[in-house]
Amino acid sequence: MINKSLDIYFNGDYSRSKFDNLRCADLSCGTGNLLLPLLNTIIQLYKAKLGEYTYNISWITGYDIDGEALLICKNNILKILEKYEIEDKNINLIKTNSLMEEIDETYDLVLGNPPYFGEKNNKEIFEDMKKYKFGKENYEGKMDYAYFFIAKGIDALKDGGVLTYITTNYWFKADHAKKLREKIKKYTTFKYINNYNRSVFEEAAGQHNVVFTLRKEKKSGKLEVIDDREKYFIDSDKIYNYRDKVILAKEEDLERLNRVYNGRTHFLGELLNINQGIVSGYDRAFVFDSYEENYREYLKPFYKNKDIDQYTYTSNKYWILYLDNKVALNKKLAKHLNPHKERLSRRREVLRSIINWWELQWARDEKIFNVPKIIGRQRSKINKFSYSEGEFYGSADIYYLTPREKNINLFYILGYLNSKVFYDWFKYNGKMKGDNLELYATPLKETPIYYTKDKAEIAYIEKLVKKQIEHYEEKTQKLIDRYFSDLKYGI
């Protein structure tokens, strides 16, 4: 992070004036995990280029709300200065919330590892942010707090200044990061992206980190990308897709994806209704691991995400008490549910008088569980969609795709959803978490599809898909993949 930033700043000019004018900041510096090596690198670089160890108080400025962390940072900076026998002991460390302060100074470099946490369990913090002009301008529902630091860092840059951060990589495609991406696209150009796509911090397993460098200018050029250890260069102005999401792909891959998009006849959301499965609010109260004859009039076969494979699904191992707003509480139900009443009554929708305490939190429109439909996993390493005509009641990590019009052929669409063309498109343009596809409603609705008007083609795919439902074979799948690959997409 430090070397990339300094290389861009100096650009081969290591004159005394270039060093003298250097101004760097970390808006959430903590104990100095970035400021300390940054200062050490600048001092050593000055020695290598100009022949002496020196220090300029204006080189680094640190902001943080934690006074104890700043004290540790200060003491460690003093140790660096002592190591190089530098007598100047003045240090720019400022105890403040940099997001809520007007920062008059502008910087050549802004480095950061900002805190990552969402709005869901931290609403008060986000509400406080919205009281400030900066917060109002950059707030977006369900955003991550780190997005504020990226936006603030851009504001704090001089024209031509460089920002390098390490964050999670979810904002590249997240629906709730539109404002952030708009700001980045409007004011900056990507210079470097290293997408680790895994956690680089031992204490934060499950994160998917990225290091990225922006320059505050609008000037296209070659962008260096390291994506999961593979390095390549692309034109920086091609980093955004048709919805301004950040796409990491080689230029030949981008050209192929553009052909898929440009060859579409529809988006999936124009052909299908896409709905999430049941949210019980407390599975222990509603879900049984065996059929209970005593509750037969309320029980429905209940499926889990893992039950769905490509084209087929396994039989259900669970049963759910399907209690919606049409079901009245009787003695039999009360006997089973009363031990859970306190927990069920604390659910948000009960407290807001939207549902009765004995109902499922979100029972959904029951029709979607019983009509002909495509069912899909919410998260999977590959695209797994199946077909169901009968009762298929599933949890919230299952999505239900039903036709918006009667003449839509679900088998044709099912073939596409299980194809390599769909996987290729979604891997780059859809939502990912690590190596898993996150097949949520919004990115599914935004997926392009070529839906042919040729009845013979539809019949051909329908026949192949029905063969796969009956018995999956790779050679049949290759025919399905070849059909969708040979369309107008030109893949």
- Digit-coded pLDDT (tens) for 59-99: 999 999 999 999 999 999 999 999 999 999 899 999 999 99
Higher pLDDT, 416 or 255: 416
Is 96 in the same domain as 203? yes
Q: Which domain covers residue 80, as residue numbers?
A: 2-248
Residue 211 is encoded by which pair of tokens? 């290091």
Query: Using the 8-state DSSP alphabet, how is residue 170 labeled?
Result: G
Is 114 in the same domain as 196? yes
Is 203 in the same domain as 278? no
The answer to the question of residue 63 being in a domain is yes
Identity of the residue numbered 23: R
Is 190 in the same domain as 306? no
Long-range contacts of 175-179 (CB under 8 A, 24+ apart): 175/142, 175/442, 176/140, 176/141, 176/142, 176/143, 176/144, 177/140, 177/143, 177/144, 177/147, 178/140, 178/244, 179/138, 179/139, 179/140, 179/143, 179/147, 179/151
Grouping H, G, I as helix, E, B as strand and the rest as coil, residue 417 is helix
Average pLDDT over residues 347-367: 96
Q: How far apart are CA 235 and CA 434, in angstroms?
A: 25
Residue 57, CA distances (Å) to 20, 81, 82, 410, 464 in order: 10, 11, 15, 67, 71
CATH number of the domain where residue 45 is located: 3.40.50.150
Q: Does 272 have pLDDT greater than 90? A: yes
Q: Which residue is associated with the tokens 């998009």?
A: 261
State the first-to-last Cα distance of the chain, in angstroms, to the nearest integer. 37
Q: Does 491 have pLDDT greater than 60? A: no
The answer to the question of residue 93 being in a domain is yes
The answer to the question of residue 96 being in a domain is yes
Is 15 in the same domain as 72? yes
Is 343 in the same domain as 226? no
Percent of the chain with pLDDT over 70: 99
Is 17 in the same domain as 151? yes
258 CB-near residues (< 8 Å, 6+ apart): none
The answer to the question of residue 491 being in a domain is no
Is 32 in the same domain as 178? yes
Q: How far apart are CA 50 and CA 101, in angstroms?
A: 36
Q: What is the pLDDT of residue 488?
A: 59
228 and 195 Cβ atoms separated by less than 8 Å: yes
Residue 171: what are its φ and ψ, rounded to 5°? -70, -15
Is 360 in the same domain as 308? yes
The answer to the question of residue 39 being in a domain is yes
Is 148 in the same domain as 200? yes
End of a domain among 220, 248, 276? 248
The number of domains in the chain is 2
The answer to the question of residue 365 being in a domain is yes
Q: How far apart are CA 386 and CA 410, in angstroms?
A: 10
Residue 344 is encoded by which pair of tokens? 């069920």
Residue 484: what are its φ and ψ, rounded to 5°? -70, -25
Q: Does 451 have pLDDT greater than 60? A: yes
Angle of helix 410-417 relative to helix 474-485, nearest 10 degrees?
Answer: 100
The answer to the question of residue 263 being in a domain is no
Average pLDDT over residues 142-160: 97
364 and 277 Cβ atoms separated by less than 8 Å: yes
The answer to the question of residue 256 being in a domain is no
End of a domain among 248, 278, 313? 248
CATH number of the domain where residue 398 is located: 3.90.220.10
Q: How far apart are CA 24 and CA 38, in angstroms?
A: 9
Q: What is the pLDDT of residue 73?
A: 98
209 and 167 Cβ atoms separated by less than 8 Å: yes
- Digit-coded pLDDT (tens) for 273-311: 999 999 999 999 999 999 999 999 999 999 999 999 999
Is 346 in the same domain as 447? yes
Lowest mean pLDDT among 149-153, 428-432, 448-452: 428-432
Is 63 in the same domain as 206? yes
pTM of the model: 0.88
End of a domain among 248, 278, 307? 248
